[in-house]
Amino acid sequence: MPEFITEYTFLTQFAKRYNIPVPRQIDGTASRKKIKEALDEWGGEAIVKPDILTGKRGKAGAIEHVKSPQEALAAVKRISGMEIRGRNPRTAYLVEVIPSQLEAYTAITYNSSMLQPSFTLSLEGGMDIEEVPEEKKMTRSVDIFKGLDAYQISEMLEKLKCPQKLISSFSRAVVSLWDMFISTGMQTIEINPWRITPSGQAFACDFKATVDSANFKAKVPGLELPDYPDSSSSFEEEMSAWNESSHQGQAHVSDLGGDKILPILFGGGASTIITETLETAGGSPMFLSDFGGNPPYERMLGTAKICFKHRLADAKLLLILGGKANNTFIDITFQAIADALIHQVRELGTINIPVVVGRGGPRLVKGLLALKQALEYLQLPYIIFGPDTPVTMVAEYAAKLSNAVTAYQEENA
């Protein structure tokens, strides 16, 4: 899965290591004196930005051009406390304003059309690249073994009619960017814009990147990545830690804010479809889940226990649903779910919610009967489907059932 690298981390750690020119910067938590000194050095003005863990666009309103220490401190205070796309910044920081003769755009990514890395360049920096006309941007593939060299970059700059005197230093800066990309297991990197000064020096002024956590290079020695305020719930955090503790099976959850159906869903494809169907049919799923990968009993038990510990008490319906598994043993996964459910019901005292089940795959009957036995032991009403009923039909039924149960409870409250 890709993980974000923040601009502040890039400015303070990556850029220096890989010799990429960047504007000077200072942490917003620095003393008033230091901030004043920085502004004095930078010509009296700066840009204040949030240090936030997101690669998405939409920081508009959270970036401020300041022209005095007073303005800077006020902006740092305001921006540090903002909520941006549901997340809080770790802090705010100030960067030097770079005067430019030209703004350029660069991106390196793994290109699904070329099936190899690609490099995109435009001299229309500062704009969304999708809005730049085709003739004003270029994309070329990069040999994964040889990499991107200064000649290739210069050639592209020539074709885009870059002023001659800017080509050399900018090409060298972009080669450094490739070095960083390939040396740190990055998956995407976008600099927009590079600000190129009248003297021809390029500065990387806005940075977005993701690293591929599956790449061993992503663990760069000597780098200290700061901790960012996490918008994850304790449920998501616990599941994430549990998932990372083993490679056997997978356990992903994302809170959706629903209040009716607790979904234990299997398979990336099926779980997406089921959740979408639940939403469309008004089932209000509590979270998106994707379990599977043939987990051993202990892994599935732990996964189910976490789900039930956090969400069972509030659920109106428990849904255990997946497609026709190719490789996951249903008896093992369902026995683990059954045991986790019994464990949590004992913790809670008693619950009375309907349970809807649907599954197919190896050792199905044994798995369904184990779960059925547990539900009877717990005296929970249930309805169990096999693989001959499509998952989307089961999801629609579960959504309607949860609504009927909720309506009845509200009427009789």
Partner 1 sequence: MKAKSLSDLLKKGDRIAVSNITGREASKVSEDSQKYCGNIVAGWALGKGGQKLETSRGKIPVFATFEELMKSMKTKKKAPNKVIIYSPPSAVYGDVKAVVNHGAKCIETIFIITEHVAIEVTAKIRFLCQEAGIDVIGCNTLGIINGHDKVRVGAVGGSTPQDTFVPGSVTVISNSGNMVNTIASYIKSSGMGTAFGISSGKDTLILTPLKDLLALALKDPTTKLIVLYIEPGGVYEHEALAMLKKCKATKPLIVYVAGSIAERYDISLGHAGAVVEGGQTTASAKVAAFSEYFGGEPFDTEKNYKPTDKLKTQLKRGILVKTLHDFPRAVEMVATVLDIKRDLSVTSPLQLNPWFVKLDELGKILPPELALGPGTIPKPYSDQIKQYTQLGASFGRQKMRNTSHASSNDGVTPRIYGYPVSDIMQSCSFSSSIILSWTGELPENPFEEKLVEMALIAALTNGPGTISAQGTKLSTSAGNSPNMAMVGTLATIGTVHGGNGAKAVNYLLKIFGQRDFKDPYDTNLNVKSIAHKVAEDFKKKKMAAKEAAIEYAKIPCLGHPVFRNDPVNYDPREQIISNYIKEKGKVNIFLEFYHHLVVALKENGSMPKVMAVNVDAAIACVWLGVCWRHLKAKRMTVERIRDIPFLAFALGRVAGGAAEYLDHQDFGTQMDMRIPVSECKELTKPRDLEI
Q: Which residues 10-49 are close enough to bind partner 1 by CB under 8 A?
A: none
Provide the strand spans (E) within 270-413.
287-292, 317-324, 355-360, 382-385
CB of 300 to partner 1, least distance (A): 13
Burial class (CB in 10 A: 0-12, 13-18, 19+), 99: exposed
273 counts as binding partner 1 under rule CB under 8 A: yes
Give the Cα separation of 160 and 156 in Å (integer): 6
Element (H, E) at 197: none
Distances (CA, A) of 326 to 243, 267, 322: 21, 10, 11
CB of 190 to partner 1, least distance (A): 6
- Neighbouring residues of 130: CB distance < 8 A, sequence distance ≥ 6: none
Answer for which of 62, 124, 322, 338 binds partner 1 (CB under 8 A) is 322
CB of 5 to partner 1, least distance (A): 13
Answer for which of 100, 106, 243, 275 binds partner 1 (CB under 8 A) is 275
Answer for which of 27, 78, 366, 406 binds partner 1 (CB under 8 A) is 366
> What is the size of the binding site for partner 1 (CB under 8 A)?
93
Answer for which of 223, 225, 348, 404 binds partner 1 (CB under 8 A) is 404
Q: Of the two residues 163 and 381, which places its CB atom closer to partner 1 in the complex?
A: 381
Give the Cα separation of 123 and 204 in Å (integer): 13
325 counts as binding partner 1 under rule CB under 8 A: yes
CB of 127 to partner 1, least distance (A): 13
Distances (CA, A) of 149 to 75, 152, 267, 279: 40, 6, 42, 49
Q: Which residues 127-166 are close enough to bind partner 1 by CB under 8 A?
A: 129-130, 143-145
Query: Any bridge partners for residue 409, and if so which?
Result: none
Q: Would you give the distance in Å from CA 285 to the centre of its chain? A: 20
223 counts as binding partner 1 under rule CB under 8 A: no
Q: Of the two residues 35 and 336, which places its CB atom closer to partner 1 in the complex?
A: 336
Answer for which of 85, 159, 165, 346 binds partner 1 (CB under 8 A) is 85
Answer for which of 48, 180, 204, 401 binds partner 1 (CB under 8 A) is 401
219 counts as binding partner 1 under rule CB under 8 A: no
Distances (CA, A) of 270 to 4, 82, 264, 290, 360: 27, 37, 11, 9, 12
